[in-house]
Structure 1
Amino acid sequence: MSHALNAAALDQLFGAARTHNVWLDKPVSDELLHAIYEQVKWGPTAANTTPARFVFVKSPEAKAKLAPALDEGNRAKTLQAPVNVIVATDFAFYEQLPKLFPHTDARSWFAGNQPLIETAAVRNGNLQGGYFILAARAMGLDCGPMSGFNNAMVDEAFFQGTTWKSNFLINLGYGDAEKLFPRNPRLDFDEACRIL
């Protein structure tokens, strides 16, 4: 990288970006979802494992499948968002390693080693979920990442018979800035960091 992002770009990704709960009635195109993933896929993961999978819930039928799994306090804001992203993890990610990490037999590192599969899948899937939020913000969208749903119900409704399991949700669209809550504080550098 040759230069730092300017202050406006950093603000869009971090400083001024907020978690939204109320959404404008403005659609998100499939082309924009493709463009977000085209950026997300380049984010680094250990041995290029890339275990995250993204399911874009947009249609009324898909939202009806998701609704029963949502906690009561999250249902209205989730169903109002133009897109709900199920950030999932493929626990058979290692089957793709001959394609993704072809210079060595990385598949053999994982196959049959359940503790290593679990650790790599969770760690790297979480990284990719974070990359997704940043890519969506970079493309001009707002995000509302959340837990507050029944993972088992989502897995049964969307991933039955697969090796995918839900991790968390991201409500996605154009947030209503007038309905934001006051921003919560963050830890200062000296509370969260050490330079040794």
Structure 2
Amino acid sequence: MNEPLDSRARRQLFMDARSQNAWLSIPVPDELLRELYELTRWGPTSMNCSPMRIVFVRSAAARERLLQAVSPGNLEKVRAAPVVAIVAQDMRFYEQLPKLFPHRPDAGRIFREQPKVAEDTCFRNSSLQGGYFILAARGIGLDCGPLSGFDTGSVDRLFFEGTSLRVNFLCCLGYGDPAGLFPRSPRLEFDEACEIL
């Protein structure tokens, strides 16, 4: 049986962590991005399908491309963040199932023959992996600023033209500037959001 995380770790992952709006100009090295993915990849997905793919945008040229697709309210966040992750989903994730789910050699057929099942599975599991990605980033000391204020068609055209990848969401990464935080918004109470049957 697993040991519970101590209260400090739980606070860092959940209660104290905030979605960042402003960023300190501290670089995020490649090694830290590799560590982030290394933790993320172990989170469970259905049939171990692992459809999430990530493009880490850091260069000025790539950032300028991305800024073309971002809504006005998010321009400064994307411009200032040391790294912006394009969290994408591989719509042909099932081609990797012989490697990822080897005890079921015909697993990919299910998705090739049922495109709607493939689409739903891809979105659900890449979103799930996106959640692991945020928690892993917080766990290694990075701050996050997940965004959905962008034009998906533009991001797909600018970064994924001619591939099977499609954007799910964007996530700014780095070290947040506390001066950019809003007052913390409330959350629903247990009885407002949950039911035990």
- Given the two structures, how large is their TM-score scaled by the length of structure 1? 0.98
How much has 1:2 moved relative to structure 2?
2.4
Q: Distance in 2 between matches of 1:191 and 1:182?
A: 22
The answer for the alignment partner of 1:33 in structure 2 is 33
2:144 equivalent in structure 1: 143
Query: Alignment identity in percent?
Result: 55
Give the letter aligned to residue 176 of structure 1.
D
CA–CA separation in structure 2 for the residues paired with 1:40 and 1:23:
23
The secondary structure found in structure 2 opposite 1:69 is coil
Q: Distance in 2 between matches of 1:76 and 1:180?
A: 14
Q: Determine helix, strand or coil for the equivalent of 2:103.
A: coil
Please, which runs of 5 or more residues in structure 1 have no aligned partner? none
Matched residue SS, 1:162:
coil
Q: Distance in 1 between matches of 2:63 and 2:109?
A: 38
In the superposition, the TM-score normalised over structure 2's length comes to 0.98
Equivalent position amino acid for 1:74 in 2: N
Q: Which amino acid aligns with 1:118?
A: E
1:194 CA displacement: 1.0
Matched, 1:84 2:84: yes
User: 2-side partners of 1:53 and 1:119: how far apart?
Assistant: 16
Once the two structures are TM-superposed, the CA of residue 82 in structure 1 deviates from its matched residue by: 0.3
Deviation at 1:177, TM superposition (A): 1.5
Q: Which residue of 2 aligns with 1:125?
A: 126
Residue 166 (structure 1) aligns with:
167
Distance (whole Å) between structure 1 residues aligned to residue 72 and residue 18 of structure 2: 22
Question: 1:188 — aligned with what?
Answer: 189
CA shift for structure 1 position 63 = 0.3
One-letter code aligned to 2:61: E
Structure 2: state its 5+ residue gaps. Answer: none
Pairwise CA distance, 1:96: 0.2
Once the 2 structures are TM-superposed, how far is the Cα of residue 112 of structure 1 from its aligned partner? 2.7
Q: Distance in 2 between matches of 1:57 and 1:5?
A: 32
Equivalent residue letter for 1:70:
V
Report the more deviating stretch, 102-111 or 87-96.
102-111
SS of residue paired to 2:166: strand
Separation (CA, whole Å) in 2 of partners of 1:153 and 1:112? 29
Give the whole-Å Cα distance in 2 for the aligned partners of 1:145 and 1:77: 10
Question: Deviations 1:149-177 (Å, cap 9, x if unpaired)?
Answer: 01111111100000000010001000012
Aligned residues: 196
Distance 2:35 2:15 in 1: 23
* Matching residue of 1:62: 62
What whole-Å deviation, never above 9, does each CA across 1:40-97 have from its counterpart, x for those lacking one?
1000000001001011000001101101101011101111000000000000000000
